[in-house]
Amino acid sequence: MTAPGAAVRTLDLHFQGVPGVIAASVLDTGDGLAVVDVGPGSTLPGLEAGLSEMGASLSDVRHVLLTHIHLDHAGATGTILERVPGVRAYVHERGAAHLSRPERLLASAGQIYGDEMERLWGEMRPVDPGRLTILSGGETLRVGRLEVRPLYTPGHAVHHLAYHVGDDLFVGDVGGIRLSGRQTPRAPTPPPDIDLPAWRESVAALRELEARTLHLAHFGAYPNSAAHWDGLLGTLDVDAGRVREGLERGQDTRDLTDAFTRALLDDLRAEDSDLPARYEFACPPWMSVQGLVRYWGRAAARGKV
């Protein structure tokens, strides 16, 4: 899939053998290939297959641009750098330590996924700190012949970046989950870093940029339009409001999750009958509930509810 009006390829990593769930974006920089969000270790064969279809291989990769270090976006980074000595990885300063020493990140994920960790995510190898370019956002990078602007975009994660490259804007998860053109984008809100005001500020900054195409890891390339951003903010408010109302009613976590899931899947079904099952696999609603429950609890503790 080639992004509209740009020399960007969207590679479907076929997470767990399912198409349209996790994507990596590939650009030819003139100094080898750059890959934005390489995916988890479990989908590295999918990345290699996608590169092969382009007439390339991992050995052609020179730059790994990470929007954030969650396993579904960055898990394969260490393995790629071990296999290809010339590759550098780019990451926000607040995520860099977790790439070099992923033990805490893996332990935290293990509490959620348990025995499914290996099957879902594969191996996450540590990255040599000397091969990291550490970013704060706001820099202008020269990557081969490309000018790349990393932008600090918290909300989904405190270490989240977007990358602006000419007409293309790579938005990681802050741009939402969108599995088809018929679906209104929705915010993935897993714990622990969800920050709704920061997310809204990130959207406000991104929507002002002159870019034609948005690239989403989940999933694909879409026109950069007011409708996309308005839809994302609208569903963010709806989903956060549902969790807050459930907490105010005293619902326990199970009942709140069940009610949230039913409402979310009903929304998606109204847009496309195929969306509920696909979305539930790509972004499990129970994880979004967990993140929003944590957000509202912290907001209440700070007196900001």
Domains in the chain, please, with CATH? 8-234 (3.60.15.10), 238-301 (no CATH)
pLDDT at 2: 34
- Please list the alpha-helical segments (H only) found in the chain: 44-53, 71-74, 77-83, 96-100, 103-113, 117-121, 196-206, 226-248, 253-271, 275-282, 285-301
pLDDT at 105: 86
Query: DSSP readout, 114-152?
Result: GGGHHHHH-------GGGEEEE-SS--EEETTEEEEEEE
> Consecutive 10-residue runs of the chain (305 residues): their mean pLDDT?
59 96 96 96 97 96 97 96 96 94 85 82 92 96 95 97 97 97 96 95 97 97 97 98 96 96 97 95 95 94 76
- Tell me which residue of 122, 83, 86, 130 sits closest to 106, measured CA to CA: 122
pLDDT at 114: 83
pLDDT at 112: 78
How far, in Å, CA of 46 to CA of 208, rounded?
34
